[in-house]
Chain A
Amino acid sequence: MNSEIRAVFRVDRNDFQLNAELNLPGHGVTALFGHSGSGKTTCLRALAGLERFPGGYCAIGDTVWQDEQRGHFVPTHQRSLGMVFQEASLFPHLSVRQNMEFGQKRASTATNRFALPEIAHLLGIDHLLDRSPAQLSGGERQRVAIARALLTTPQILLMDEPLAALDHQRKREILPYLENLHQELSIPIVYVSHSPDEVARLADHLVLLDQGRVKASGPLNEVLSRIDLPAAFGDDTGVVITARVAEHEADDLTRLEFTGGTIYVSRISQALGTPMRCRIHARDVSLALVPQVHSSILNCVNASVVELGATDTPGHVLVKLDVAGNPLLARITRRSAERLEIRPGLNLLAQIKAVALLA
């Protein structure tokens, strides 16, 4: 089923402005990323039909949900969507099972429905079905809320900062389940977040919102590696590279390989061939013109300079590199850039001081 989303929302109020044109792919996880007040949650609510703006337009695949020029508006309860809010918002008067059945029994009896036991298993809540929501931890509640939304077999799943209300421990508990969803269900997910970590870990596509406007939109790395947007991520500027586990070596290191070379990380338990998402911060990449044999830095890949850009601190520049087709960002001092005469087209070596494994 085609679930591509096209939407236009415009609001012009004294306290809030939104001028967003969204084209979201009908597969994978699309992150709506921005600071608070950027309009990301408002966009999500408008997609769900919980907010209605004059002149708005919203269509998913061939189904038009909103076309105000024709006076057309499908109310939320008639839209094939699932939504997970920041707080789990389980119905306190119903058990976990009844919460999950609430949407399931109201959804139209379309084909390809998910079964409750299957979804409960996927989210690890099998043992909680007969409890009341008040007896669950924050992470468990949020998993039930996700299961409840999925059981309506929605055409799209909307998630509004589902982890923001949870502490660090609960986030770590719930993230693997979100990755599971991604891999096991073919439902496109629109994920609102202000956390660069979550975006790097989960997203395939990224929409960058700032003050109600779409600043950038596209595949994750394409947006992450744009050097004209450094302020969006600040110190977290960097790219995500997918590498496969190639070998577990004797000295407790694991070798990962990607098209641009090899990366060593501390030994991990994943089987050979497992794809791993690695986040490489621009601040952890340094540049050298000749191989550094007398250096402790193990990870070093061949790269060519694509372009240079400003960072949020005047003493530094951001260098966009190409590593056999993979983008990489390096943040170095302006002084070093001038001393090494770094310019577009220059071939050099990128030394990677740290790699964050995401999954």
Chain B
Amino acid sequence: MSEADLSAIWLTLKLATIVTVVLLIVGTPIAWWLARTRSPFKGVIGAVVALPLVLPPTVLGFYLLLVMGPNGPIGQFTQWLGIGLLPFTFTGLVIGSVFYSLPFVVQPIQNAFEAIGERPLEVAATLRASPWDTFWSVAVPLAKPGFLSGAILGFAHTVGEFGIVLMIGGNIPEKTRVVSVQIYDHVEALDYAQAHWLAGGMVLFSFAVLLALYTFNPSRKKTP
């Protein structure tokens, strides 16, 4: 494996880790809100969160490129802040990946929150726990399997993305060239042997992740 391959692997892992952490922070309140709200906007927000499941990544990447570009609102804002433009930077890649993997983190957590039901939260209230206290001491521990699934799926999905990386990340070594793009480069250069190493590695990695998910996730939990 070449230096460039290793650097692509390292960059991919770094990207996936950061994206997963950001998604857990951003996705948890969204999942909680979606699981508990009776607002008429629930359907709209739920659909927006789920959009990346059906949209081609190129569509998402295209619009993010426009919004973060020099004439887009976010682009103008970031320029005004003095941090320049986000497309074709690692930060831009993180933002794009967060949007793209959002449903993979929000939905398992939302399902886990919904499965808890109303009762444990009411019990906690009658035991003097404030809503904030209840969230951390009852809801989060009971939704642990959902957080685990969400984190694993978010990480794995970010590792596996390609289209959105090309659209807003480009192909800059050590900045935005992740494994999936590197494989594409190898194939384009007809360097199948190199492609095999990375592609085979991805297959093994993905299988291991899903195996872990299906083996260790206690989906049939008892609630006495």
Q: Which residues of A contact B (CB under 8 A)?
A: 48-50, 75-78, 81-83, 85, 87-93, 102-103, 106-108, 133-134, 136, 141, 148-149, 152
Contact = CB atoms under 8 A, between A and B. Distances in A.
Nearest to A108: B128
Nearest to B133: A106
- Of A77, A82, A149, the most chain B CB neighbours within 10 A belong to A77
B164 to A, nearest CB: 37
B213 interface: no
B142 A93 contact: yes
A92 B221 contact: yes
Interface stretch (B73-81, B116-124, B176-184, B187-195): B116-124
Contacts of A149: 126-127
B141 interface: yes
B217 to A, nearest CB: 16
B141 A77 contact: no
- Of B133, B137, B144, the most chain A CB neighbours within 10 A belong to B137
Nearest to B140: A93
A276 to B, nearest CB: 34
Given A50-B126, A90-B224, 14 more contacts: A77-B126, A77-B128, A82-B126, A89-B120, A89-B123, A91-B120, A92-B221, A93-B144, A102-B127, A106-B127, A106-B128, A136-B224, A148-B127, A149-B126
B138 interface: yes
B6 interface: no
A134 B134 CA distance: 21
B27 to A, nearest CB: 21
A243 to B, nearest CB: 38
Contacts of A90: 224
Nearest to A81: B126
A208 B119 CA distance: 26
Contacts of A89: 119-120, 123
Nearest to B221: A92
B89 interface: no
A90 B142 CA distance: 12
A77 B125 contact: yes
Contacts of B125: 49-50, 75-77
B3 to A, nearest CB: 47
Interface of B: 119-120, 122-131, 133-134, 137-138, 141-142, 144, 221-224
Contacts of B224: 88, 90, 92, 133-134, 136, 141
- Of B138, B142, B223, the most chain A CB neighbours within 10 A belong to B223
Given A76-B125, A103-B127, A91 B138 contact: yes
Contacts of B122: 50, 76, 85
A81 B137 CA distance: 20
Contact of B129 (A48, A102, A134, A141): A102
Contacts of B123: 83, 85, 89, 91
A76 B128 CA distance: 7
Contact of A77 (B120, B129, B221, B223): B129
A82 B89 CA distance: 56
A107 B128 contact: yes
B119 A83 contact: no
Contacts of B127: 77, 102-103, 106, 148-149, 152
A85 B119 contact: yes
A4 to B, nearest CB: 20
Contacts of B129: 77, 102-103, 106
Contacts of B141: 93
A81 B224 CA distance: 23
A127 to B, nearest CB: 18
Contacts of B128: 77-78, 103, 106-108, 152
A78 B45 CA distance: 33
A149 B124 CA distance: 10
A107 B138 CA distance: 17
B178 to A, nearest CB: 37
A103 B130 CA distance: 11
